[in-house]
């Protein structure tokens, strides 16, 4: 279900045009479903305040009315800055409005679950990586330059350990959470590989396509702050750069222990991702040149 009714052409998938903020319509098409997967996201950070509350409320209400399990795909913003690896026991302490929204969505869903009104669970992942990932995400943005031999301008330290989560591992985790009763009523971290710094991740991607170490240029923080004063998107990015100022590590071992899920080996992710992203970068450059 998407607003436009577009999506992948895959056997077994029926595409439906629907405004997901319409709880009644969403509940109607969800009748008979086992699981509702909330993988929605407003188009930009600047739209979160306005669009997330009615969207999340409608999806939760659809789960109430249909009886389907609600599985929400979330991120790590709700934890705010941390000093230890994130686990299931790490408390939610958001530091900006984006984290507050994501944390609030989970707490509303959990309250409905504990009241017996709905069955809910949530998957949380760090920054995505993978061949099917689009151009969203900082590592994808940086790699769009480094994979074609250009320097990348990074917004924070490129030498701080960070967790990267494979998109395919996200999908596997969502599927398991939706059909496993033991997962309901709790949030789970998607199993991910050992952390890699931005420099290490980009170096690995470059090596996979026969390139040397990438050239990285750090944008001074004062430039980021000054830019954020006039560019709304940059201001929102500044609000989550704490994830790259200090080690930001997600430990999904409890998900592995509970459900047997393992992260895709890092070399496999890197090889497939580098090839796909290099093709995309070359295609983009070709379009600009023509």
- Listing DSSP states for 115-171 in one string gives TTS--EEEEE--EEESTT--S-SHHHHHHHHHTTT--EEESS-TTS-B-EEEHHHHH
Q: Kind of pairing, strands 127-129 and 164-166?
A: parallel
Give the other-Cβ count within 10 Å of 65's Cβ.
17
The arithmetic mean of pLDDT across residues 216-230, rounded, is 92
Give the whole-angstrom CA distance, residue 79 versus residue 25.
33
Whether pLDDT at 68 is above 70 = yes
Q: What pLDDT is stored for residue 285 in this prediction?
A: 64
Q: What pLDDT is stored for residue 137 in this prediction?
A: 79
The arithmetic mean of pLDDT across residues 263-281, rounded, is 95
Whether pLDDT at 198 is above 90 = yes
Beta bridge mates, 153 = 217
Q: What is the percent of the chain where pLDDT is above 70?
A: 98
Give the whole-angstrom CA distance, residue 175 versus residue 63.
17
- Structural tokens at position 91: 């408390």
- Structural tokens at position 19: 């405004």
Q: What pLDDT is stored for residue 99 in this prediction?
A: 95
Measured CA distances, 267 to 100, 207, 214, 272 (Å) = 35, 11, 18, 9
**Angle at which helices 266-289 and 138-146 cross, to 10°:** 60
- Structural tokens at position 111: 């309250």
Query: Which CATH number is 23-289 given?
Result: 3.40.50.720
Whether pLDDT at 150 is above 80 = yes
Phi, psi angle pair for 50, to nearest 5°: -80, -40
The three state secondary structure string of 246-269 is: CCECECCHHHHHHHCCCCCCHHHH
Q: Which of 121-135, 189-203, 260-274, 276-290 has the lowest mean pLDDT?
A: 276-290
Q: What pLDDT is stored for residue 196 in this prediction?
A: 98
Give the whole-angstrom CA distance, residue 63 versus residue 122.
14
CA 204 to chain centre: 21
**pTM of the full structure:** 0.92
Beta bridge mates, 129 = 166
Q: What pLDDT is stored for residue 133 in this prediction?
A: 81
78: confidence class by pLDDT, cuts 50, 70, 90: very high
Most confident of 84-98, 123-137, 221-235: 84-98
Give the whole-angstrom CA distance, residue 191 versus residue 62.
29
Give the other-Cβ count within 10 Å of 91's Cβ.
9
């Amino acid at each position: 279900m998407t607003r436009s009714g577009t999506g992948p052409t895959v056997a077994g998938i029926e595409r439906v045009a629907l405004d997901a903020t319409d709880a009644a319509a969403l509940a109607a098409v969800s009748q008979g479903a086992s699981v509702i997967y909330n993988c929605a996201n407003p188009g930009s950070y600047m739209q979160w305040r306005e669009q997330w509350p009615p969207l999340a409320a409608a999806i939760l209400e659809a789960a109430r009315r249909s009886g389907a399990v609600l599985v929400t795909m979330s991120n790590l913003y709700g934890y705010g800055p941390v000093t230890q690896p994130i686990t299931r026991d790490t408390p939610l302490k958001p530091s900006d409005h984006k984290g507050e929204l994501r944390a609030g969505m989970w707490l509303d869903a959990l309250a409905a679950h504990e009241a017996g009104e709905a069955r809910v669970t949530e998957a949380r992942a760090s920054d995505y990586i993978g061949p099917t990932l689009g151009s969203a995400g900082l590592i994808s943005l940086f790699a769009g330059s480094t994979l074609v031999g250009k320097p990348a301008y990074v917004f924070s330290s490129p030498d701080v350990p960070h967790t990267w989560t494979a998109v395919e591992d996200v999908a596997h985790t969502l599927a398991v959470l939706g059909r496993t009763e033991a997962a309901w009523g709790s949030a789970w971290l998607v199993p991910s590989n050992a952390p890699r710094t931005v420099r290490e991740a980009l170096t690995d991607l470059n090596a996979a396509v026969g390139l040397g170490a990438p050239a990285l240029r750090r944008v001074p923080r004062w430039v980021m702050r000054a830019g954020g004063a006039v560019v709304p998107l940059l201001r929102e990015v500044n609000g989550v750069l704490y994830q790259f100022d200090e080690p930001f590590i997600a430990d999904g071992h409890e998900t592995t222990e509970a459900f047997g899920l393992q992260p895709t080996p890092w070399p496999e992710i890197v090889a497939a991702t580098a090839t796909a992203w290099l093709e995309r970068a070359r295609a983009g450059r070709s379009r600009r040149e023509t």
